[in-house]
Amino acid sequence: MSGPKRIVITGAGGLIGWHAAARLHAENCGAGFRGETLPYHVTALGRAGFNDDAVLEGAVTDADAVLHFAGVNRASEGELEEGNPDLAKRLVAALAKTGSKATIVYANSTHSTADNPYGRGKKRAADVCAAHASAQDTVFVDLILPHIFGEGGRPFYNNVTGTLCQQIADGETPTVNPDGKVELVHSGEAAQTAIDLGLAGNSVQHRMQGKPIGIPALLEKLQGFHALYTSFIYPDLSDPFDVALFNTYRQHLYPDHFPRAVKVNTDARGRLFEAAKGGGGGQSFISWTEPGVTRGEHFHLHKVERFLVVEGQANISMRKVLTDEVYSFDVTGDAPAYVDMPTLWTHNITNTGDKPLVTLFWTHDIFDPSAPDTFADKVAQDSAT
């Protein structure tokens, strides 16, 4: 029986790199929960690891695939022109020195055809990787990507969607180029494509097709999400692109905007409050949890999910996948407030009272046992790996 596929991710601290690592981690979590052999051995290289000869060479020696996301995209013109080829040269030198036959998946850009420092640099980096693959008789995948967005996107850097989301979450009114246009691909989709192509074993140039949208229209859509969501209404989540974009927007609300109190209507008959509105469908669950018991301990890649304590006392905790970043919220049925779970954050809820805890859970889609989008991963752990 073959062992786990060994995958190296360069630029693991970047947007696509983190999503790739998180998706491979999800597959390992699922296999571990089922008692199966883990399918992947993942080495995630940030800048320090990539720049260390011993670390880089050790990582690629027995690798099946290298997902090469490390890159330079904001620097002086000289650094833009030389930075990406230099990174590619360093990678292929390590592969050649160790005799590694790993497939290279290079995250190229639609800008690589442009006659400017960044475009020329991206093209030259692809040429370096392709020449190595030809000389060593290995596989090279030239993955050409348009504009990437997604959870974890860095605002005010090189991600227009992340910038707009952050400004909207902060209550600002962004100013945009009325003629600006982007072609958007979610970072999770790009990461999964890179993984799949890296394991397929075929040299290919693959150009991902995104959703073309004007920057003013993107801003309007995000502002529409914000207006509804802050009015206790989920937008229509029937379109997978809108789900991905809404989840990206929601990431910018944590942790400062939660828990969120609900309006409780009280009269002589008792109390009444709304739990969730909109979303275009979904599914609700009610749970009773005994004192001291914890539920959850998992994360989702796509699912929009709400926790709302109806009766009792609880602590809701969440940790960003592959990090030690944990947030905790104390909630009570005496003053109902909800916490919505961000995608790619593992989460749990613990009954901290002395009576049964009653909780309502709502998700935007109907649970499918064959594709549950639920990956077991404890919030509290000795180290996040």
Neighbours of 330 (CB within 10 A): 12
Phi, psi angle pair for 69, to nearest 5°: -100, -15
Question: Using CA atoms in the order 88, 91, 97, 101, what is the torsion angle rounded to 10 degrees?
Answer: -100
Q: Tell me if residue 234 falls in helix, strand or coil.
A: strand
Is residue 99 within 8 A of residue 135, CB to CB? The reply is: no
Residue 152 corresponds to which tokens in the numbers above?
Answer: 């974890």
What stretches of 34-159 show up as alpha helix (H) in DSSP?
47-50, 53-60, 77-98, 117-136
Q: How far is CA 372 from CA 37, 172, 302, in A?
A: 20, 37, 10
Edge-to-edge strand ranges of the sheet holding 181-186: 147-149, 181-186, 211-214
Instruction: Give the whole-angstrom CA distance, residue 41 versus residue 24.
Output: 9
Task: Give the max Cα distance, the chain.
Answer: 82
Amino acid at 20: A
Residue 91 corresponds to which tokens in the numbers above?
Answer: 């990678």
Amino acid at 238: S
What proportions of the chain, in percent to the nearest 5, are helix, strand and coil?
A: 35, 30, 40
To which H or E segment does residue 217 belong? Answer: helix 215-229
Angle between helices 160-169 and 215-229 (to 10 degrees): 30
Instruction: Give the whole-angstrom CA distance, residue 148 versus residue 249.
Output: 14
Edge-to-edge strand ranges of the sheet holding 337-341: 260-261, 337-341, 305-311, 357-363, 283-289
Q: How far is CA 198 from CA 18, 105, 192, 213, in A?
A: 16, 6, 10, 29
Spatial CA neighbour of 9 closest among 74, 56, 53: 56
Is residue 83 within 8 A of residue 72, CB to CB? The reply is: yes
Q: What is the pLDDT of residue 385?
A: 36
Contacts of 268 (CB under 8 A, 6+ apart): none
Q: Spell out the per-residue pLDDT of the chain, length 385, in tens.
A: 478 999 999 999 999 999 999 999 999 999 999 999 999 999 999 999 999 999 999 999 999 999 999 999 878 888 889 999 999 999 999 999 999 999 999 999 999 999 999 999 999 999 999 999 999 999 999 999 999 999 999 999 889 999 999 999 999 999 999 999 999 999 999 999 999 999 999 999 999 999 999 999 999 999 999 999 999 999 999 999 999 999 999 999 999 999 999 999 999 999 999 999 999 889 999 999 999 999 999 999 999 999 999 999 999 999 999 999 899 999 999 999 999 999 999 999 999 999 999 999 999 999 998 899 999 999 997 543 3
Instruction: Give the whole-angstrom CA distance, residue 113 versus residue 194.
Output: 21
Is residue 106 within 8 A of residue 88, CB to CB? The reply is: yes
> Is the preceding peptide bond at 146 cis, omega within 30 degrees of 0?
no
**Which residue ranges form the domains of the chain, and what is each CATH number?**
5-218 (3.40.50.720), 260-376 (2.60.120.10)
This prediction has a pTM of 0.95
Is residue 230 within 8 A of residue 260, CB to CB? The reply is: no
Q: What is the pLDDT of residue 95?
A: 98
Question: Using CA atoms in the order 16, 174, 222, 107, what is the torsion angle rounded to 10 degrees?
Answer: -20
Residue 201 corresponds to which tokens in the numbers above?
Answer: 């074993």
Is residue 356 within 8 A of residue 289, CB to CB? The reply is: yes
Residue 355 corresponds to which tokens in the numbers above?
Answer: 């009576």
Neighbours of 279 (CB within 10 A): 21
Measured CA angle at 233 (ends 229, 239), to 5 deg: 85
